[in-house]
Structure 1
């Protein structure tokens, strides 16, 4: 017997489409590195945020029951990449409730928690966020680093060393141009 589908498949489709558009715009901006590409990315982020706000206002957090696992993941993705930190804080509270109710994952909660903390210049709890630039990839500061892997395990995350290696493999540094 398979799991029942989402109660609102149209919401799941809309969220998945917005996530796909955001990912495509992000990939394009990373490759092109021009104003037009970054404008498309900003548009995709804004559209995702505004649509998710509307869904939340009408239905509450779009968890597994409402939007299915993939739709719920897309909702988290959109909140995580939103430029609206006030909305991210609201989403974080709703996501905490959704995790307790079994409607979202602890992993999603860990990532959004760190995103909000970093945006307020607070140390992250789970070591999910990294500062990326041309020369380095470094994690943002972490609260109580001695217990980091313990906290990560509680949230269903791999050990920090494994995560850090995954991040560095995904975002390889560009070779420096040493010619003058």
Structure 2
């Protein structure tokens, strides 16, 4: 079973998810007044990407990636974009093996066909590939892919919002401040956020990446993991310190 200090890195949920939350669930968030604006922005950006890139040309690969996405989400208690169960000890025990299996499958895909762009497999499958990468424990591979993925995002060939978790995960693994505030750690019975580059401008930075406000994100994490996401801040551990 992964340690609690690593749980949020292993089990982070792709932040594109809040855009699909049912209205009755979304209404519970303290940021209800701003929901319509950021959700509309995410929806508009998504439609723009689909229009620009099309539905994808490789149907077989699209189907494969969607199956991979569903497997990734099932072990985390999600099905059809909705949470169907909370995290359980059995799910946590199965998660590392599932992530390792999906990582190897994605590596083969990338080696044979390159990164699954929206134009190749459609936006759902492309984001599914990013989901698998986000949950991979192979930090070296993630870091190697990151420059290419950032270029693809800048060119609107992949969904830039789905890349935020990978960026933050790599920064935290290097002991650095994260950018978008997506990574948390269990501390004293609550979830504490790893330090960010610009605390005062965090919601503004998240909005540029078409991510939901932090209040909404914390509420979502609390609901998923049944543990409060509080206001405490923790520092990431540099790799050298981890080896000592």
Extract unaligned runs of 5+ from structure 2: 1-49, 78-84, 229-244
1:5 aligns with 2:55: yes
5 Å-filtered alignment, 1:101-120, equals 101-120=155-174
- Specify which structure has the bigger relative contact order, considering alpha-carbon pairs within 8 angstroms and separated by 6 or more residues: 2
How many Å apart are 1:145 and its aligned residue?
Answer: 0.9
**Length-normalised TM-score, structure 2:** 0.63
Contact 2:117 / 2:126 at 8 angstroms: preserved in 1?
A: yes
5 Å-filtered alignment, 1:1-180, equals 4-27=54-77, 30-31=87-88, 33-34=89-90, 38=92, 40-132=94-186, 135-173=189-227
Superposed CA deviations along residues 56-93 of structure 1, whole A, max 9, x for unmatched, are: 12222101011111110110000000010011112322
The SS at the match of 1:121 is: coil
How many Å apart are 1:156 and its aligned residue?
Answer: 0.9
Instruction: State the distance in 2 between where 1:134 and 1:74 align.
Output: 33
Contact 2:116 / 2:126 at 8 angstroms: preserved in 1?
A: yes
Change in Cα spacing, 1:134 to 1:26, as seen in structure 2 (3 Å) is farther
Instruction: State the distance in 2 between where 1:9 and 1:132 align.
Output: 40
Instruction: State the distance in 1 between where 2:107 and 2:184 align.
Output: 26
**Length-normalised TM-score, structure 1:** 0.83
How many Å apart are 1:161 and its aligned residue?
Answer: 2.5
Contact 2:57 / 2:120 at 8 angstroms: preserved in 1?
A: yes
Change in Cα spacing, 1:9 to 1:132, as seen in structure 2 (3 Å) is farther
Contact 2:55 / 2:118 at 8 angstroms: preserved in 1?
A: no
The SS at the match of 1:163 is: helix
Change in Cα spacing, 1:163 to 1:42, as seen in structure 2 (3 Å) is closer
Alignment RMSD, CA only?
A: 2.3
Instruction: State the distance in 1 between where 2:103 and 2:86 align.
Output: 19
Change in Cα spacing, 1:162 to 1:23, as seen in structure 2 (3 Å) is closer
